[in-house]
Amino acid sequence: MQTTQPTAQDIVRWKQLYAKYQPRLKPNRISGTELYAYLESRYPLLPREDARAKRVVIANILENDCFASALPSGTSPDPVCCTIARAGSGEALYRAQEEVFSDCDIFVGIDLVSGYFLVECSGLLWDELYAQRGLTETDLSNYYSVAEYISCLKRFNLLEQALVQ
């Protein structure tokens, strides 16, 4: 998860990763429903029926052309929101939290229609979901998206299985 202002060196590195790996990738993006099922299978979730939280997810999609264009024609976002429980496998996420987020609940919003997601207070979980969600054909033409995906795959030892042989 990119959390700092990119440097010229970052851009050079992203373009190198793109050149090396993009030809060996294929579109593999899963749906928002599948991404939520993955999250639910891995972590204890506390569903949030919070209209304000859902509006944030919807606004992030509709107010950003790159996310809005992923919505199928004639559809609207359908977000689900939850907090990761501080129990079971969720404890590991809280132990790995960046210091700036210590004592903050980990929030996740996933649009079931487009597959857009957001994670607050856990770079580790954001990276995991990005690796699991995969890339669209459009993503594969964007050097940053490919480089971020490769970095996330490497973090979870998933790179080899994602590459086309």
Residue 68 lies in a domain: yes
Residue 93 lies in a domain: yes
Q: How far is CA 44 from CA 3, 89, 90, 117, in A?
A: 26, 7, 6, 18
- Per-residue confidence at 6, pLDDT binned at 50, 70, 90? confident
- The verdict on residue 100 lying in a domain is yes
When divided into structural domains, the chain yields a total of 1
Domain of residue 108, residue span: 28-134
| Apex 130 CA angle, 126 and 132, nearest 5 | 120
- Which pTM does this prediction carry? 0.93
pLDDT digits (tens, 9 = 90+) for 20-50: 999 999 999 999 999 999 999 999 999 999 9
Specify if 17 maps to a domain. no
* pLDDT at position 5 over 80: no
Give the residue from 118, 113, 137 showing the smallest Cα distance to 28. 137
For residue range 58-101, what is the model confidence (pLDDT) as tens digits? 999 999 998 999 899 999 999 999 999 999 999 999 999 999 99
Report whether pLDDT(1) > 70: no
